[in-house]
Amino acid sequence: MATLFDFEGRWRVARRIDDRMAGRAGRFEGVVTFAPDGVGLTCREVGELTFEGGTPFAATRTYLWRQGDGGVKVHFEDGRFFHRIGPDQAPVAQHWCDPDDYRVAYDFTLWPDWRATWEVTGPQKDYSMVSDFFRIAP
């Protein structure tokens, strides 16, 4: 896996969403910027989200990426820990957010292109998201 600061820069992201509970598919197209913030990197996504039969709308999210023992620690924007990306080529992580279970598998085998595949389940959730990242600029 790449080290934390190997992610620095701008990336194009293409995300497919399969919401099995709602019976609909969606897509997100946008740009992700990993910018130094004095402690690690701030990861900010900006783009457009569209679900089948719906009107596209602007969508953003922000995470904090930090170097940690044994990999990269990903935190929510407010600083709460989310999950850890381990050092292997196909790291997996899990986050329990009662009552929902979030599981992610990262694939860095085609670096600098990479993929994150999420499976999310819970009483009101059953969806998968596959996000492909392509470097725009370092």
Which residues lie closer than 8 Å to 2 by C-beta, 6 or more apart?
108, 111, 112
Domains held by the chain: number = 1
> pTM of the prediction?
0.90
Q: What separation in angstroms does the CA of 13 have from each of 29, 69, 131, 136?
A: 6, 27, 6, 10
Note the pLDDT tens digit of each residue in 66-119.
998 888 999 999 999 998 888 765 567 666 778 989 889 999 999 999 999 999
Contacts of 69-77 spanning 24+ positions with Cβ under 8 A: 71/1, 72/4, 74/43
The enclosing domain of 127 has a CATH number of: 2.40.128.20
State which amino acid sits at residue 112: P
Domain that includes residue 47, residue range: 4-137
**20-45, pLDDT tens digit by residue?**
999 999 999 999 999 999 999 999 99
Give the integer Cα–Cα distance in Å for 125 and 128: 10
